[in-house]
Amino acid sequence: MTNADYFARYEAIAAVSERMLCAARGAHWDDLIDLQEEYRHLVDALKAADGGTQLSTHERARKFELIRQILADDAAIRELASPCMTRLAALFAGRTRPGRVLQELYGVR
């Protein structure tokens, strides 16, 4: 794999990560789930193709920046999803009325 191919894969992962964050910010959870599948596919493809690509100092810095961006997006997504996950956990544990949780999460009455 060429360095250009290698970085194209990282760029694609970063782009999907950014789209996932946008979906989370808009509370578009179904879209987020679909994007997670695309994200996993891209990461698996990168792992399978990564054969010890030699990177220059500049390329290593670019790779670090892309990984930093992806991790920052992931942290922000988790922060946005955390309240929803807490409410769902309470629902499944029987501590909250189902109607209230569904109304809060999905606008269901």
Q: Is residue 99 part of a domain?
A: no
Q: Structural domain tally of the chain? A: 1
The pLDDT, as a whole number, for residue 19 is 97
Q: Which two tokens stand for residue 102?
A: 């569904």
pTM for this one? 0.74
Residue 30 three-state SS: helix
Query: From CA 65, how far away is CA 71, in angstroms rounded?
Result: 10
Lookup: tokens for 77: 């997504």
At residue 89, the pLDDT reads: 62
Share of the chain above pLDDT 70, in %: 72
pLDDT at 103: 61
Question: Domain containing 12 — which CATH number?
Answer: 1.20.58.380
Handedness of CA 87, 92, 96, 98 (dihedral sign): positive
Instruction: Evaluate whether residue 94 is within a structural domain.
Output: no
pLDDT at 106: 59
Q: What pLDDT shows up at residue 66?
A: 96
Expressed as residue numbers, the domain containing 64 is: 3-80
Write down the pLDDT at residue 81. 82
Chain centroid to CA 80: 11
Q: Judge whether 87 lies within some domain.
A: no
In this predicted structure, what is the pLDDT of residue 22? 96
Task: Count the helices and strands in the chain (H runs, E runs).
Answer: 4, 0
In a domain, 25, yes or no: yes
Report mean pLDDT in 10-residue bins for the chain, 109 residues: 88 97 92 95 88 84 95 92 65 62 57
pLDDT, tens only, 68-81: 999 999 999 988 88
